[in-house]
Amino acid sequence: MAARYASIGVVGAGAWGTALANASARAGREVVLWGRDRDLVAAMARSRTNPAHLPGVVLADTVRPTADLAALAGMDAILLVVPAQASRSVAAELAPHLAPGTPVVTCAKGIERGTSLFMTQVLGEACPQAVPAILSGPSFAADVAAGLPTAVTLASRDPGIAEALAAALGSSSFRLYHSADVRGVEIGGAAKNVLAIAAGIVGGRKLGASAGAALVARGFAELMRFGKAYGARAETLTGLSGLGDLILTCSTAQSRNYALGLGLGQDEGLHPPGKLAEGALTASVLVAMAQARGVDMPIARAVEDVLAGRSDIEQAIGSLLARPQKAEA
Ligand SMILES: NC(=O)C1=CN([C@@H]2O[C@H](COP(=O)(O)OP(=O)(O)OC[C@H]3O[C@@H](n4cnc5c(N)ncnc54)[C@H](OP(=O)(O)O)[C@@H]3O)[C@@H](O)[C@H]2O)C=CC1
Ligand SMILES: O=C(CO)COP(=O)(O)O
């Protein structure tokens, strides 16, 4: 019997899309990898690498790069791997090429600005005939592409689809847990990026490992409060896509969000320029959504105040430390 989801279309030939294309190929899938930049796609087909976004990684033999979205027609499932704020427009362009009921797995970590919608909600609007799902967890593209052991969560409201997709994409080095808690998975990925900027600031300011650990623990308390207010399950928030990814992204400058905070902490401004740091785009909408449900998120708010130029780093740190004493919750 043919494997379920034998063919996978990957939409977005950035670092994560390229890594996931290779991971899917390693899992035995036939893969079509779409990128919007025709020149880059031609270079990828020629060199079998992605020099723009994942240099040094060789594309698996069964990955076929294309700049034509129509090449994704008939794919058994799609991974949507463009930045969160581009997901609506790309999903809408993709929609006419999809058969009804095709699973589309968003792999972006963010919340849409302007609408305050989570990624699967955006998919539901832009691509209504698809079955939305989400993949998220502690996983740097370079690690996954290198075949280093990685574990993530794949969630769909249809548990059978989540389980079958997890089975189709998994390999000995890329382990997928399945879940029906879509909201929990998307909240963890979006919120941890904002908190990672704060962790980078702590690192850049050389506030010490103790402050770094306190930041992760109190940041996680914020993530939990937000998650509960928006319908996430606690076990998802304490799992790979919540706590797991928070720990990863708050630990190393390999994270672009942490690196952005590091630059801010060292008074270098928004550095490095041109790199996608989703947390910088999510911060304002996350804070507004927290406020709308009465959720206290002082660290996320401090990050947003710094990014918006409402306070400098010293003021932000000072205001966090000057908060009234309270019970740990
Ligand atoms: N990198 C990682 O380790 C991980 C990333 N993620 C998430 O994956 C998502 C993508 O990140 P990543 O791949 O790293 O980002 P990159 O910056 O490496 O790549 C982004 C890709 O999206 C494309 N793109 C950007 N805007 C548009 C648009 N409007 N229409 C079509 N394509 C567009 C870019 O095309 P072009 O080259 O033409 O600019 C590029 O191919 C983010 O939400 C990120 O948080 C999740 C887990 C791990
Ligand atoms: O989400 C990631 C790892 O899980 C990647 O983090 P950055 O986007 O901060 O690089």
Binding residues for sn-glycerol 3-phosphate: 109, 137, 139, 192, 245, 255-257
pLDDT at 270 > cutoff 80? no
Q: Which atom of ligand 1 is nearest to the CA of 276?
A: 17
Q: In Å, how far are 20, 193, 222, 292 from 249, measured between CA atoms?
A: 19, 7, 16, 26
Q: Report which bound ligand comes closest to the CA of 150.
A: 2
Q: Report which bound ligand comes closest to the CA of 281.
A: 1
The whole-angstrom separation of Cα 7 and Cα 55 is 25
- How high is the pLDDT of residue 3? 66
The complex's ipTM works out to 0.99
Binding residues for NAD(+): 12-17, 141, 256, 275
- How high is the pLDDT of residue 274? 78
Q: Residue range 260-286: average pLDDT?
A: 90
Q: Which atom of ligand 1 is nearest to the CA of 13?
A: 41
Instruction: Render 189-249 in DSSP notation, one character per residue.
Output: HHHHHHHHHHHHHHHHTT--HHHHHHHHHHHHHHHHHHHHHTT--HHHHTSIIIIIHHHHH
Helix (H, G, I), strand (E, B) or coil at 89: helix
Q: What is the mean pLDDT of the chain?
A: 96
Instruction: Render 243-277 in DSSP notation, one character per residue.
Output: IIHHHHHTT-TTSHHHHHHHHHHTT--S-STTS--
Is residue 221 classed exposed, middle or buried when 0-12, 13-18 and 19+ CB atoms within 10 A define those classes?
A: middle
Q: Which atom of ligand 1 is nearest to the CA of 54?
A: 18
More confident residue, 53 or 3: 53
- How high is the pLDDT of residue 190? 98
Proportion of the chain in helix, strand, coil states, percent, rounded to 5: 50, 15, 35
Q: Rounded to the nearest whole angstrom, what is the distance from the C-alpha of residue 279 to the centroid of ligand 2?
A: 10
The whole-angstrom separation of Cα 174 and Cα 20 is 10
The whole-angstrom separation of Cα 19 and Cα 73 is 22
What domains lie within the chain, and their CATH numbers? Answer: 7-180 (3.40.50.720), 190-322 (1.10.1040.10)
Task: Name the pTM for this structure.
Answer: 0.97
pLDDT tens-place string over residues 96-141: 999 999 999 999 999 999 999 999 999 999 999 999 999 999 999 9
- How high is the pLDDT of residue 1? 42
Do strands 30-34 and 7-11 pair parallel, antiparallel, or not at all (unpaired)?
parallel
Active site residues: 192
Q: For a pLDDT cut of 70, what percent of the chain falls above it? A: 98
> 182: closest CA among 137, 147, 233, 225?
233
pLDDT tens-place string over residues 24-81: 999 999 999 999 999 999 999 999 999 999 999 999 999 999 999 999 999 999 999 9
Most informative mutation of 185, 193, 197 for ligand 2 (most atoms within 8 A of CB)? 193
CA 180 to chain centre: 18
Q: Rounded to the nearest whole angstrom, what is the distance from the C-alpha of residue 309 to the centroid of ligand 1?
A: 26
